[in-house]
Amino acid sequence: MLALLTSVAAGLSVLNSNTAGVSPAWTMISRFIAVLFYGAFGLTVARACRLKGSLIVSSEDWPLTIREFINFGVLPGVVLGVINYLFFFSYRTSPFVTPRIRGITSFYDSFILSLDSGFAEETIFRLFILSCLVFTFNHLYARLKPVWPSVVAILPIAMALVLSSLLFAMVHGFYAFTGAFFGGMLLGAIYLKSGIEGAIAAHFVANFLFFSASYII
C-alpha cells in the first residue's frame, strides 16, 4: 500500500512538472519497486527493534486514535511548517532553491510536491535508514547493557536519530542543511513516537503549509 501510494504521488508529480524526457510511467514503476524494497526491509527491521506507534509495523497499535495521529503527526507538521516559513521565507526566490519549488503557482502544485516528498523521503530516511540505524546500534551496544542499562536504553536511538538527520540534511544541500537537520530530528522523533503514518503526515503538512504560504498566499 505504501509503495502504491508513493508511486502514484511520484507519477502525478512528474505529470504536473512537465519535465522533458521524464516518463511518468517509468517513474511510477521505479518508485514502486524502490519503496517496496526499502519499505518492506524497513518494516521488518522496525519490527525487530520493537519500535512502537505504527499501525503498519505492529498489529498491537491498531487502536491508535485520530486524536493521537493529529497530536503526533499533523500538529507537529504545522509547527514545522510555520518555523520554516519564519526562517526561510526571505530565501524563497534564491537561485539555490530548486526550480521545481520556485515554480509553484497553485495549491495543486504545492499539494502534489508535498505529497511526493512526504511519502518518498519518510520511507527512505525514517522507515528504512532510521530503523536500520536503531537496529545496528542496538546490537553494537548490546554487550554494555548489563553495565550501563540506562545509557544503552537511550544511546542507540539518539545516535540513530542524529545520524539519519545528518544524512537527510546532506541530501537537501548546503543552504538547507541546518533547517533540514532539525526538521529531520523532529520527523525522526515523530516516527519513533507515532510510526511512519505520523511522520508522513507531519512532512506533508509542513511542506504544504510552507510552500503555500511562501509562493501562493
Buried b (16+ CB within 10 A) or exposed e, 13-39: bbebbeeeeeebeebbeebbebbbebb
Query: Which residue range forms the structural domain that includes residue 128?
Result: 2-215
pLDDT, residue 100, reads 85
pLDDT, residue 65, reads 63
Looking at the chain, the number of H-run helices and the number of E-run strands are 9, 0
| Residues lower than pLDDT 70 in the chain | 20, 52-65, 145-149, 151-152
pLDDT, residue 102, reads 86
pLDDT, residue 57, reads 46
pLDDT, residue 175, reads 78
pLDDT, residue 116, reads 93
The answer for residues whose C-beta is within 8 angstroms of residue 99's C-beta and 6 or more apart is: none
pLDDT, residue 62, reads 53
| Alpha-carbon radius of gyration of the chain | 18
pLDDT, residue 172, reads 87
Tally of domains in the chain: 1
pLDDT, residue 146, reads 67
pTM of the model: 0.89
